[in-house]
Amino acid sequence: MKSSWKKQRLATKKKHIKRMRSKNNRLIAFSLARAIKAMKKIGEAFHSPGTSARKVTN
């Protein structure tokens, strides 16, 4: 009884971690896309995407 209960708990924990990770990945991807869009806008404003990107990173 006890061992199976422990196994079940571990499984649910793993599932939860996986779900959180996928959520985080989606968030990171979304923020990255937004950052790239912002950098492109800045690049258009400066007419030189390379220097503006460097400014943003530093």
- How is the chain split into domains, by residue range? 2-57
Express each pLDDT in 6-54 by its tens digit: 888 888 788 877 877 888 888 888 888 898 888 888 777 766 555 555 6
Neighbours of 52 (CB within 10 A): 19
From its phi and psi, is residue 47 left (phi > 0), alpha (psi between -120 and 50) or beta?
left
CB atoms < 10 A from the CB of 34, how many? Answer: 10
* Residue 53 neighbours by CB distance under 10 Å: 16
- Entry pTM: 0.39
